[in-house]
A and B are shown apart, each in its own frame.
Chain A
Amino acid sequence: MSSFPKNKHSTKCVEDGKCLESLQLILDGEASTEEEEAFMDHLNVCMPCYNHYKLDRAVKELLQTRIAKVKMPDHLVDNIKKQLAYIKESTSNS
């Protein structure tokens, strides 16, 4: 950051919670370009929002990278395929 945030030692943003909405939209890729740019500009001058955004990004990345995806066991996949095959067979005769 090039300039010191004005409210460096405060934990509250002056923007009345509008930022919370923007933050989440941006975090989830749902914000417009304008909204995102405005928010990023805001982060340059608002320490609470900057910290909050950093934290939320970290939590999201944590979820995306640290939780192992469970794979369906092969024998269970095969079982489902068999059941579907049976249904496909029986409907082809109608």
Chain B
Amino acid sequence: MEEDKKSNHQNPTGLNKTEKDALFEKEFMPLIDSLYNFAYRLTLDEDDANDLVQETYLKAYRFFDSYEQGTNAKAWLFRILKNSFINEFRKKSKEPSKVDYNEVETFYNSEDVDENITADLRVESISDMIGDEVANALNTLAVDFRTIIILCDLEGFTYEEMSKILDIPIGTVRSRLHRARNLLKEKLKNYATTMGYNK
């Protein structure tokens, strides 16, 4: 077995096929629920989510040699999934036209919006909310904002990891996150008011 590792030059990961398959199984298969969850939150459709996850795993296997062992398997898979999503599903989604991210950058520096939203939304209102209300608020965000909140708050990725998954600079990660959170808070505020929480 040891000799195989040293003499195998065709496989960049230095493993023979049996070891490769075992590694794939061990590192990637446990992440399937996480990926499905992400895919579902992106597409809001079970069938689309399934297609995305399937495509992701097939691609991951095909390009396994480009995966560096010991690096972040989850981030690697999420990146593949996100790219598949953009290629396959973005076309057919009914999303509004692309957000102007220059606007987002300058927005980040505007404290007025933060004050207004924060002043109007009470922690007590939030703690009264149930899962469906929170999920609805999240689901109605534009996909790029929804994605970044999912990656940060639901999946716990670092800014660096998100930067790699989304192919954007860390500065953009931060500003988009900030904007997304303000938008989410606005929606939660509206829910709270509608439900009579915000009294």
Contacts and interface: CB of A to CB of B under 8 A. Distances in A.
Interface of A: 11-13, 16-17, 20-21, 24, 28-30, 48, 51-52, 54-56, 58-60, 62-64, 66-72, 76-77, 79-81, 83-84, 87-88, 91-92
Contacts of B93: none
A54 B123 contact: yes
A71 to B, nearest CB: 5
A12 B115 contact: yes
Contacts of A29: 158
Nearest to A24: B178
Q: Interface of chain A, helix or strand or loop or mixed?
A: helix
Given A52-B118, A56-B181, A84-B57, A68 B131 contact: yes
Interface string B148-192: 010011100011000000000000001001100100110010000
Contacts of A66: 129-131, 134-135
Interface range for B: 35 or more
Interface stretch (B1-9, B30-38, B75-83, B97-105): B30-38
B40 interface: yes
B58 A17 contact: no
A24 B177 contact: yes
Contact of A79 (B37, B54, B129): B54
A70 B40 contact: yes
Contacts of A21: 174
A52 to B, nearest CB: 5
A63 B127 contact: no
Contacts of A76: 36, 50, 53
B138 A20 contact: no
Contact of B185 (A48, A59, A69): A59
A80 B32 contact: yes
B69 interface: no
